[in-house]
Copies of this chain bind each other. A is one copy, B any other.
């Protein structure tokens, strides 16, 4: 890599079913960011990367990058673009900013992720969400997010003996973590029984196995590693990144309970960051559904293949365990505004480094990993962040 890059500040809107509209969410996250990075002169923000998955459908508004820049009061004069990669849209914006700063095309970049998902016509909203799958070839056969991840869960149960109670524990842990996160959509703890008794969405997935339909925005500021300390004493440095994919159609995937592209992305991300797996102290994983987090433990190498259920049962991903996962509550606890999620994950890791989170979920971490899957888990994206440069 040409130039090292750092995240120097971050901010979240409150996540939830918000009365705030698309632009008010942006303003809320932006206000927080400029408060956080108080010595920033807005006129120095030369570039802007806006992650938003489908404002064309949720808000009937395209060209949202300049629209969002206007809400933030910035006039980027080097790079402005919107990125989209379904559920990994926010991380795609971070990666684009990373590339531009690293290449010298940008000095100071603002990254915003936003999604306003609760709309008056939720039938239309839900149809829109299904458009991250191949509508013409898979959608007609009923592939949506819950039905697809239910298939993955069924296959994982059959092959590895994973139980619904083990999946429920992921929900219990993440809601426990989000209960002290003031930005989270859900700030209430649930028991395994609560999860098991919640109504069935797509068997074996029940309501509390699923992340919410959430409005939210997240904003962060990035610059070169050399300039990071102009803005904060505790930057979060980008140590590495990787991505791997495998087709688009469900029938083209290499497996339902084996996510090989994630295995490859995990390998490449460690290589890119020049670290070994056991150096990771903290992980933000894409728990769109409880089964996702279980499969991710395995493919990332936190445990052996097929032992993800056991891993959560042994509380190894709890705060205080082998590797705390989703300390802020993840997608299950915070909700999943598509464009905002990847940016929120980076901010959770930044705030962990900066000791800005509630003491009950504070972790002593030097290196954090953030992972997003997108679509039918066909593409996996990873960022690795460090308190120090390597």
Tell me if A's interface is mostly helix, strand, loop or mixed: mixed
8 A Cβ contacts from A191-239 to B: none
Q: Given A77-B264, A248-B69, check contact A128 B56 (CB 8 Å).
A: yes
Residues on the B chain within 8 Å of A81, using CB: 83-85, 92, 95-96
Q: Does A349 contact B (CB under 8 A)?
A: no
Residues on the B chain within 8 Å of A134, using CB: 61, 67
A378 closest partner in B (C-beta) = B66
Residues on the B chain within 8 Å of A77, using CB: 243-245, 264, 268
CA of A81 to CA of B83, assembled, Å:
7
Copies of this chain in the oligomer: 2
Residue A84 contacts which of B65, B98, B99, B128 (CB distance < 8 angstroms)?
Answer: B65
A70 closest partner in B (C-beta) = B248
CA of A241 to CA of B128, assembled, Å:
35
Q: Does A286 contact B (CB under 8 A)?
A: no
8 A Cβ contacts from A227-282 to B: 241-249, 252, 264, 268
CA of A80 to CA of B227, assembled, Å:
28
Q: Does A82 contact B (CB under 8 A)?
A: yes
Q: Does A79 contact B (CB under 8 A)?
A: yes
A58 closest partner in B (C-beta) = B56
Q: Given A3-B2, A77-B243, check contact A66 B248 (CB 8 Å).
A: yes
CA of A136 to CA of B75, assembled, Å:
21
Which residue among A75, A99, A135, A379 has the maximum number of chain B CB atoms within 10 Å of its CB?
A99
Render A125-158 as a binary contact track against B, CB cut-off 8 A, 1 for contact.
0011001111110000000000000000000000
Nearest CB in chain B: distance from A105 CB, A: 5
A75 close to B131 (CB less than 8 A): no
Q: Give 25 pairs: A residue, B residue, CB < 8 Å, sorted on A.
A: A2-B104, A3-B103, A57-B62, A60-B127, A62-B84, A63-B84, A63-B132, A66-B248, A66-B374, A66-B379, A76-B243, A76-B245, A77-B245, A77-B264, A80-B85, A80-B243, A81-B84, A81-B96, A83-B83, A83-B84, A83-B96, A96-B96, A98-B105, A102-B103, A105-B241
